[in-house]
Amino acid sequence: MPSNCSLNTYDTRTTILSNEEVAEAHYLLRCECAEIAQQAHPGQFVHVMISQNTGMLLRRPFTIYTVEGHEITMLYQIIGDGTKQLSELPRGAPLQVLGPLGNTFNLTIESEPAIIVGGGAGIASLMLLAAALRENDIQTFGLVGAQYRARLLSVSDLESIGIVVHIATDDGSIGYHGYVTDVLADLLSETKWHRPMIYACGPHGMLTAVTKIATDFKVPAQIAMENRMGCAMGVCLGCVCPVRIAPNHMEYQRVCTEGPVFNATDIAWNVF
Ligand SMILES: Cc1cc2nc3c(=O)[nH]c(=O)nc-3n(C[C@H](O)[C@H](O)[C@H](O)COP(=O)(O)OP(=O)(O)OC[C@H]3O[C@@H](n4cnc5c(N)ncnc54)[C@H](O)[C@@H]3O)c2cc1C
Ligand code: FES
């Protein structure tokens, strides 16, 4: 189901237009990358050189969150040194951005409603998709999970494009008290749709739960994987993930080139 994209990739030297904290430990970075913006499709990512001066050789991957004209944004969580350094870069700082990379979510107008399920910063991988779904007039539900209220992301961005948002927090500080996957299961059991489609991104445990729910309810699900990456060009094999290509046959596929989007039920979750 996920689509391959054989479009051009650009390594763009740009400068940061803004880089602001939008929730606790989460930043929204905006920069001008005209070619990347023109070619970007939902689910695709960029590989960002954060600093050439600090010995941080490896780039870091981030999904393209939004595209507006010649500009793209990335919504990212501070995880370790790279994202911490990125969060400290001011407006005007130089940035090297390679992209767009990877395959894309496949949105078919026959599949409705679309249910997008984002756990934590995983919602960042679903925003461009959400916009495309709404542009195609596809009814879309946004299920957004966070640890607690201060870490909740993207709700107003989703609502501003006409998406009905359901919130879940681990501590119940806002929305449903529990996992966003409980909300998904409730939504699917409340209404029997003809051809719904789930799109999800988030922590490993959340994605295994989404896969189980999708299987139980017989609903197709596309998920974006966020494995650690080295080259992001299909060379180092640092990002591979186990994929079932036939009932008794599994192979390792590269998240950076064959992914990041996979059919949930193709992933061999028990092999990780
Ligand atoms: C295709 C793709 C798209 C992504 N999109 C986004 C996005 O839009 N927003 C966002 O916030 N993040 C995204 N990520 C994850 C992001 O790339 C990592 O959080 C980032 O590279 C961490 O870099 P760091 O230097 O801060 O942490 P590091 O110092 O590299 O790592 C710190 C700790 O976090 C762990 N870690 C690092 N990366 C990952 C990972 N991918 N999965 C699990 N554990 C990890 C490490 O094992 C280590 O323990 C994406 C990843 C991929 C592969
Ligand atoms: S990151 Fe090198 S092959 Fe995917």
Residue 192 confidence (pLDDT): 84
CATH number of residue 21's parent domain? 2.40.30.10
| From 45, 47, 231, mutation site for ligand 2 pocket: most ligand atoms within 8 A of C-beta | 231
Instruction: Report yes or no on 241 lying in a domain.
Output: no
Give the residue numbers spanning the domain of 76.
Answer: 10-101
* Closest protein CA for atom 28 of ligand 1: 80
Q: How many CB atoms lie within 10 A of CB 189?
A: 11
Q: Which atom of ligand 1 is nearest to the CA of 56?
A: 25
Portion of the chain with pLDDT greater than 70, in percent: 96
Q: Which atom of ligand 2 is nearest to the CA of 230?
A: 1
Calculate how far, in angstroms, residue 145's C-alpha sits from the geometric centre of ligand 1.
Answer: 18
Digit-coded pLDDT (tens) for 4-61: 545 589 999 999 999 999 999 999 999 999 999 999 999 999 999 997 666 778 999 9
247 band by pLDDT with thresholds 50, 70 and 90: confident
Instruction: Report yes or no on 44 lying in a domain.
Output: yes
Digit-coded pLDDT (tens) for 152-196: 999 999 999 999 999 999 999 999 999 999 999 999 999 889 899
Residue 191 confidence (pLDDT): 85
Instruction: Report yes or no on 36 lying in a domain.
Output: yes
Q: Which tokens hold the place of 139?
A: 């009814």
> How far is Cα 159 from Cα 142, in angstroms, rounded to an integer?
9
* Closest protein CA for atom 12 of ligand 1: 76
| From 56, 228, 261, mutation site for ligand 1 pocket: most ligand atoms within 8 A of C-beta | 228
Evaluate whether 210 touches 198 at the Cβ level (below 8 Å).
Answer: yes
Residue 84 confidence (pLDDT): 96
Q: Which atom of ligand 1 is nearest to the CA of 102?
A: 1
1 band by pLDDT with thresholds 50, 70 and 90: low
Instruction: Report yes or no on 199 lying in a domain.
Output: no
Cis previous bond, 260, omega within 30: yes
Instruction: Report yes or no on 158 lying in a domain.
Output: no
Instruction: Report yes or no on 250 lying in a domain.
Output: no
Calculate how far, in angstroms, residue 125's C-alpha sits from the geometric centre of ligand 1.
Answer: 13
Q: Which atom of ligand 2 is nearest to the CA of 255?
A: 4
Instruction: Report yes or no on 211 lying in a domain.
Output: no
Segment among 27-36, 48-57, 87-96, 131-140 with least mean pLDDT:
48-57
**Threshold 0.85, pTM exceeds:** yes
Instruction: Report yes or no on 259 lying in a domain.
Output: no
CA angle at 80 for the pair 74 and 86, rounded to the nearest 5°: 40
Range among 45-59, 106-120, 141-155 with highest mean pLDDT value: 141-155
Q: Give me the residue label for tokens 């299987």.
A: 215
Q: Which ligand is nearest to the CA of 232?
A: 2
For the chain, the domain total comes to: 1
